Amino acid sequence: MNKEATLMMSILEEKIAARHAHIGVIGLGYVGLPLVLTIVEAGYQHVTGLDIDPEKIEKLANNQTYLRTVESDRIANANQLGFQYTTDFSVVGELDIVILCLPTPLNRHREPDMRFITQTLETIKPHLHANTMLILESTTYPGTTEELLVPVAESMKLTVGEDIFIVYSPEREDPGNPHHSTATIPKVCGGITEACNRHGIAFYETIIQQVVPVSSTKAAEMTKLLENIHRAVNIGLVNEMKIVADKMGINIHEVIDAAATKPFGFTKYTPGPGLGGHCIPIDPFYLTWKAKEYGINTRFIELAGEINRAMPEWVVGKLMDALNDRGKALKGSKILILGIAYKKNIDDARESPAIKIMEILRAKGADVQYSDPHIPVFPKMRDHQFDLKSVEITEENLRGFDAGVLATPHDDLNLENIFSLPLVVDTQNVLSEYQLEIPCVVGA
């Protein structure tokens, strides 16, 4: 490597060490916003958030949050420290470090949809320059960083590892978890070259308590997939066990609690109405898709996916059985879904099994409403359309419903007040601790 390249690298590393590097985070959602605030709070003096949504930028300018998991006080504090935000991507020309926190959904054929990444790269390409680090944090298949980011740099005549440093470091956000934050969750980091990795580690060590280096971007990409596939497969297993136990008249939650007393060799997973969120239901299929390129069929992973995707139908079946026992048909019944976020205490409904339950119920002729204190109006979604507002849980409001399905037990859902419902299907086994004088299908 030539002396000029070495000097350029040392300049970037010196900027990082002094917190003088100008850092931009593209995509200010559930991953990007906490990350950019963490960078500001770590002492960086020049930090810019970029997003195509002008409403987000306006809220940030007014010290307002648009995510329940991010406090407005953090935004106000960051603004006082000089945090900038814009929809103008030409600012990339002024940045030393560019971090991509963009959606990577699946299309209707359950194949990776890389449009958000590729379109953003095309937008910023004219503004990339030497002595820059480009980091991808979006969850994706092994090989994405090499296949998508490296060609962009090469088309700009930038030599990777000398002129530009390309890194993959998967996000590990857990929205709503009070015990872990962006700064405290260990950060996996892999670079295209050793120099890339060194720069990535140097940067993340200034904002994250523990950095975990791996040998390549592919290893870092696979690490994130393994983490989420591990959860998806084990949740699929315990969901299948729930179905078997139900047929045998066994309380699966009693069995799980008993098994969890073993001090080794067992990790507790609990069943539910299916998988939700932007990671667990989607990430395994990045690998199954990529594995086919190598002639490999990931049967174990795909089987777990089939089981988890079938759980909303199973929940609806339990509801139909319970209504039938009361001499009531599902068609024409008024059903209230309690909680539609993909997990408790957050306002994110992406891939939520509760939404899928609503779709199935509507298709079967039920009148479907929902109650979720964190989602007052049903969000705009590509695949699900409901013109609904959240129903407040009061005795008067619940009087007209034939049944409720407890899908997401938020702490402030006022579960004690659902006694006004004539029937509840509890998908999370949280009502067993209440003395409810209503029929309740526990652990459905």
Q: What is the pLDDT of residues 82-92, one digit of tens each?
A: 999 999 999 99
pLDDT-derived band at 217 (thresholds 50, 70, 90) equals very high
Stretch 269-287: mean pLDDT, rounded?
A: 85
Catalytic residues: 279
pLDDT single digits (tens) 55-67: 999 999 999 999 9
Token pair of 131 as six digits: 């002595």
pLDDT at 76 over 80: yes
State whether 137 and 170 are in the same domain: yes
State whether 77 and 202 are in the same domain: yes
DSSP three-state, residue 148: helix
pLDDT at 7 over 70: no
Q: What pLDDT, on the 0 to 100 scale, is given for residue 3?
A: 43
pLDDT single digits (tens) 382-436: 777 899 999 999 888 898 899 999 999 998 887 777 878 889 999 988 887 765 5
Lowest mean pLDDT among 108-112, 156-160, 284-288, 318-322: 108-112
pLDDT-derived band at 207 (thresholds 50, 70, 90) equals very high
State whether 392 and 369 are in the same domain: yes
Of 198, 215, 232, which residue sits at a domain end? 215
Lowest mean pLDDT among 228-237, 265-274, 330-339, 381-390: 381-390
Q: What pLDDT, on the 0 to 100 scale, is given for residue 382?
A: 72
pLDDT-derived band at 4 (thresholds 50, 70, 90) equals very low
Stretch 138-144: mean pLDDT, rounded?
A: 95
pLDDT: is 9 or 268 the higher one? 268
Dist CA 283 CA 304 (whole Å): 12
Q: What pLDDT, on the 0 to 100 scale, is given for residue 419?
A: 77
State whether 90 and 142 are in the same domain: yes
Q: What pLDDT, on the 0 to 100 scale, is given for residue 5?
A: 45
Dist CA 412 CA 410 (whole Å): 5
Q: What pLDDT, on the 0 to 100 scale, is given for residue 72?
A: 96
pLDDT: is 220 or 430 the higher one? 220
Stretch 23-31: mean pLDDT, rounded?
A: 96
Alpha helices in 169-216 (DSSP H): 194-204
The answer to whether 386 touches 358, Cβ cutoff 8 Å, is: yes
Q: What pLDDT, on the 0 to 100 scale, is given for residue 228?
A: 92
Non-local (6+) Cβ contacts of 247 within 8 A are: none
Rounded to two decimals, the pTM is 0.88
State whether 289 and 205 are in the same domain: no
- Of residues 172, 194, 204, the one with CA closest to residue 185: 172
CATH assignment of the domain containing 355: 3.40.50.720
Q: What pLDDT, on the 0 to 100 scale, is given for residue 441?
A: 63
Q: What percentage of residues in the chain have a pLDDT greater than 90?
A: 79
Of 215, 230, 263, which residue sits at a domain end? 215
Q: How many residues does the chain have?
A: 444
pLDDT-derived band at 6 (thresholds 50, 70, 90) equals very low
pLDDT at 437 over 70: no
State whether 199 and 224 are in the same domain: no
Q: What pLDDT, on the 0 to 100 scale, is given for residue 436?
A: 56
Dist CA 54 CA 347 (whole Å): 20
In one-letter notation, the amino acid at residue 333 is: S
State whether 148 and 220 are in the same domain: no
State whether 119 and 151 are in the same domain: yes
Number of H helices, E strands in the chain: 14, 13
pLDDT-derived band at 444 (thresholds 50, 70, 90) equals low
- Of residues 353, 365, 367, 360, the one with CA closest to residue 407: 353
Ordered DSSP codes for 83-138: -EEES-GGGGGG-SEEEE-----B-TTS-B--HHHHHHHHHHGGG--SSEEEEE-S
Stretch 37-53: mean pLDDT, rounded?
A: 97
Stretch 159-184: mean pLDDT, rounded?
A: 92
Stretch 223-246: mean pLDDT, rounded?
A: 95
Domain that holds residue 62: 3-215
State whether 249 and 211 are in the same domain: no
State whether 226 and 206 are in the same domain: no
State whether 209 and 272 are in the same domain: no
- In the chain, how many domains are there? 2
Stretch 332-336: mean pLDDT, rounded?
A: 97
Of 165, 184, 215, which residue sits at a domain end? 215
State whether 192 and 294 are in the same domain: no
